[in-house]
């Protein structure tokens, strides 16, 4: 899914309460590996398993969270990731986003207010497959894919005040 990030298309999001903040803060640090992981995580937060699941679903639906799931280090698994950008005319943006997002190698895709207005991450099983996937996207869309390989890695955590 391509998520628009400009002021004119931004959806109004419901407020985030203290429990939502606790969920976001707690689950960034890890998710229990247990038979009932949601129940274990909910116990740490002080809510029920069902409430935790419902709140995560609501946060995703409201686009407060873009996703909920594991984050794997593709390079340590022998694969590769690459940030890519395209310059797409506004009147062809949605069609192009649909084509880009149809590729299994596309991890996520965002609209930006910049001449390079479509940014996405390619993730592949093997490093040489990045260039091949970018070439297939160029062929499918008719637009050049600009690759921005990772030079350094940074982790930015989000902690919300209660």
pLDDT tens, residue by residue, 19-54: 999 999 999 888 999 999 999 999 999 999 999 999
CB-side neighbour CA atoms (13 Å) of 51:
13
| 9 — pLDDT class (breaks 50, 70, 90) | very low
pTM for the model stands at 0.64
Report whether CATH 3.40.630.10 matches the domain 80-148: no
Dist. CA 45–CA 22, nearest whole Å: 7
Average pLDDT of every residue of the chain: 88
Dist. CA 109–CA 111, nearest whole Å: 7
Dist. CA 162–CA 150, nearest whole Å: 34
Q: How far is CA 109 from CA 43, 82, 118, in A?
A: 34, 12, 7
Residue 5, pLDDT score? 40
Dist. CA 106–CA 109, nearest whole Å: 7
**Domain ranges in the chain?**
18-61, 80-148
Residue 15, pLDDT score? 80
pLDDT tens, residue by residue, 77-86: 889 999 999 9
User: Under a CB-based contact definition with an 8 Å cutoff, are residues 30 and 40 in contact?
Assistant: no
Whether the predicted pLDDT of 146 surpasses 90: yes
Whether the predicted pLDDT of 18 surpasses 90: yes
pLDDT tens, residue by residue, 90-143: 999 999 999 999 999 998 888 999 999 999 999 999 999 999 999 999 999 999
Q: Tokens 């203290």 belong to which residue?
A: 18
Tokens of 161: 């005040």
């Amino acid at each position: 899914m391509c998520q628009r990030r400009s002021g004119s298309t931004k959806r109004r999001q419901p407020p985030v309460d203290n429990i939502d903040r606790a969920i976001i803060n707690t689950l960034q640090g890890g998710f229990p590996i247990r038979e009932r992981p949601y129940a274990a995580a909910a116990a740490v937060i002080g809510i029920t398993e069902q409430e935790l699941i419902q709140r995560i679903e609501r946060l995703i639906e409201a686009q407060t969270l873009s996703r909920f799931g594991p984050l794997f280090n593709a390079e340590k698994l022998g694969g590769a990731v690459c940030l890519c950008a395209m310059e797409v005319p506004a009147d062809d943006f949605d069609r192009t986003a649909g084509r880009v997002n149809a590729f299994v190698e596309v991890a996520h895709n965002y609209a930006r207010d910049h001449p390079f207005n479509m940014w996405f991450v390619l993730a592949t099983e093997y490093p040489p497959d990045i260039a091949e996937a970018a070439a297939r996207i160029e062929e499918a869309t008719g637009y050049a894919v600009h690759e921005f390989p990772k030079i350094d890695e940074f982790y930015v955590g989000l902690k919300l005040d209660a």
